[in-house]
Amino acid sequence: MRLLVKFLGGLKKYFWLLITLFLISIIGVFGLTASRYLSQLNVKPQNLLNFFGTPQESLDSTGGFTNFLILGIRGEGTDSRDLSDTIILVSYNHDHQSTTLVGVPRDLWVPSLKAKINTAYYYGEQASPGAGIKFAQAAILEDLGLPVHYTAVVNFTLFKQAIDLVGGIDLDINPGFVDEEFPIPGREKVLPISSRYETVVFATGSAHMNGETALKFVRSRHSVGDEGTDFARSARQQQIISALRQKIVNPSFLLDQKKVTALLDIVNGNLLSNIGHDLYPTLAKLALDTIDKPVITLPLTASPDQDGLTILYHPPTIKYEGEWVLIPKDNNWNALKQYLKNHLTQP
């Protein structure tokens, strides 16, 4: 539970990193070169006026809330490229100007799909290319009772290429771990089975990583002990994101026109969203309004919360075709929705 809370506490960096990538030409590049980047982002000059209004004037909302969904997918060159390894719901309360981050468990069951929520985007893309976002948004609405207004889908290739662009990142690894079953891309079906994997080793201490190594660091899931859990892997993702963000917001990077242009190309090629270009100035305003304000984190877990309330549990796998899933306690989906509503509406 402590690890999950720590992980959720760092999720705001993930959200604002995406905003930074969207808006880097607006909030990070000055004067003479700004118009060139605005053009590359397809932001029209008249849309900049939205920066001076309130976010609620431009953003879709329901009951005073605007909800963003962030999906981290595996991407090309991986097994099941459209499965969502990371699912984050960001709910912004316009009345209180507060942000709540809900870490949605990948194993949360979706009754209508008869599958885990991390498959929603995948099944949408299988049904019709481009429909993944709608499927994922529908799954969130069904399970949590919260309408999703905007969704961003990012794959790991973005981070790999961005890390190489900034010259690599520096991390403090603690604890270290060994994964003897890291999948080798393109060898998912070769025989013998042992030839499908390689051993990756990350020793405790300081390390400089290029994009490929960083990707292995965040994707590893078969090490022995706590570092083999999804919560640990998510925490490593946050570590990578934080290190990358530090490199991106550095003035030496922001004032390098070629690198900024290259970053925008990477983002455009690896990030899908239903956020219109006209909303970028509004999101920049929202980022500036909230960046120094506390962010509420709401873990959804099978462990008791700070009030001793357990909202989710693992039912017998025999009832779910042998899958290890999460559902609301007593199978009471309305209770889960009310739980979220209560936490989102409190000051």
Q: DSSP readout, 229-271?
A: SHHHHHHHHHHHHHHHHHHHTSHHHHT-HHHHHHHHHHHHHHE
**pLDDT of res. 99:** 85
Cβ atoms of 287 and 16 closer than 8 Å = yes
pLDDT in tens, 176-235: 999 998 888 778 788 888 888 999 999 999 999 999 999 899 888 888 887 887 667 767
Domain stop point among 200, 220, 248: 248
Residues with pLDDT less than 70, the chain: 1-51, 75-80, 230-231, 234, 238, 291-292, 347
pTM: 0.74
Of 244, 242, 273, 299, give the one whose Cα is nearest residue 10: 242
**pLDDT of res. 229:** 72
**pLDDT of res. 78:** 56
Could you tell me if 69 and 181 lie in one domain?
no
Could you tell me if 28 and 123 lie in one domain?
yes
Could you tell me if 213 and 332 lie in one domain?
no
Residue 30 exposed, middle or buried by CB count within 10 Å (0-12, 13-18, 19+): exposed
Could you tell me if 175 and 81 lie in one domain?
no
**pLDDT of res. 49:** 64
Could you tell me if 190 and 148 lie in one domain?
no
Domain stop point among 232, 248, 264: 248
Q: Which residues pair with 90 in a beta bridge?
A: 68, 101
What is the CATH number for 236? 3.40.630
Could you tell me if 180 and 242 lie in one domain?
yes
Q: Which domain holds residue 122?
A: 2-157+254-345
Could you tell me if 152 and 189 lie in one domain?
no
What is the CATH number for 125? 3.30.420.590
Q: Other C-beta atoms within 10 Å of 111: how many?
A: 12
How does 168-186 read in b/e, with b if 16+ C-beta sit within 10 Å? bbebebeeebbbebbbeee
Residues with Cβ within 8 Å of 91's Cβ and at least 6 positions away in sequence, in order, are 65, 66, 67, 68, 99, 100, 101, 102, 146, 344
Domain count, the chain: 2
Could you tell me if 11 and 125 lie in one domain?
yes
Could you tell me if 259 and 237 lie in one domain?
no
Could you tell me if 144 and 98 lie in one domain?
yes
**pLDDT of res. 143:** 97
Could you tell me if 87 and 6 lie in one domain?
yes
Could you tell me if 71 and 208 lie in one domain?
no
Domain stop point among 248, 278, 313: 248
